Amino acid sequence: MRRTGTYCCRGSPQRAADDGGGGPISTTEPRINDRIRTPRCRLISSEGEQLGIFNTADALRIADEQGLDLVEIAPNADPPVCKIMDYGKYKYEQAIKAKKARKHQATVQVKEIKFRPKIDTHDYETKKRHVVRFLEGGARVKVTIMFRGREMAHAERGLAILERLAEDVKDLGTIESEPKLEGRNMLMVLAPVKRDAKGAKPKATEEHGETADAG
């Protein structure tokens, strides 16, 4: 029987390098079959059973008899650890897993909305509707109170707006970052309420989204 790894890897740059072809040697792919240079290895069967230490030539013969590949999975061990497996199938399954992981990974945007401490009721309600829309869409919301001049002397007004907003949208969002002053701005971050298991979204990465300014 042919080992699938030896056959399928013929002509590859890594194979050429090992055979003296002068091509680059891959650092991301493990050595398999005839590319394994160590004289001995600790062998693991295709079922995960520890078989002990073998001459690499004998390990290659065992893998060959099973129509499988010998893959060096721990090259820095002493002696290196090799496992018998169908390497082509293993790579395919790993690629499918990676594809599924990317597919299920959502991207949560971070929206920003800005208020002034003297915002009137109408503008407040308009801005609140933006926050509600962002949270319902699964986005985090960075809420900023912008102070000018002597308004900093009454920072409690900004805090009151943030606390009021958090209370108004508590069914949709929770406070992820408590209100804090940064320079002339007071910031708070709201995160969407986690959905139940049926409607849960996968863990997400972040990216910055749109900004809504207060009037």
pLDDT digits over 86-129, tens only? 999 988 988 888 887 776 655 668 899 999 999 999 999 999 99
Section 168-175 average pLDDT: 94
Distance CA 76, CA 67 (A): 26
Tokens of 147: 């102070």
What is the model's pLDDT at position 153? Answer: 84
Measured at the CA of 143, the angle between CA 138 and CA 146, to 5 degrees, comes to 160
Q: pLDDT tens across 142-151, in order?
A: 999 999 988 8
Q: pLDDT tens across 39-82, in order?
A: 999 999 999 889 999 999 999 999 999 999 999 988 888 899 99
Distance CA 91, CA 172 (A): 42
Q: pLDDT tens across 2-22, in order?
A: 444 443 443 333 333 343 333
- The domains found in the chain, sorted by start residue, are 4-99 (3.10.20.80), 105-212 (3.30.110.10)
**Which DSSP letter does residue 32 get?**
B
Beta bridge partners of 40: 55
Phi, psi torsion values for 27, nearest 5 degrees: -105, -5
Q: Is the pLDDT of residue 26 over 60?
A: no
Q: pLDDT tens across 174-214, in order?
A: 999 899 888 889 999 999 987 654 444 444 434 445 555 55
Distance CA 148, CA 215 (A): 14
Distance CA 182, CA 29 (A): 48
What order do you get walking across the sheet with 173-182 strand by strand?
173-182, 185-192, 140-146, 106-115, 204-212
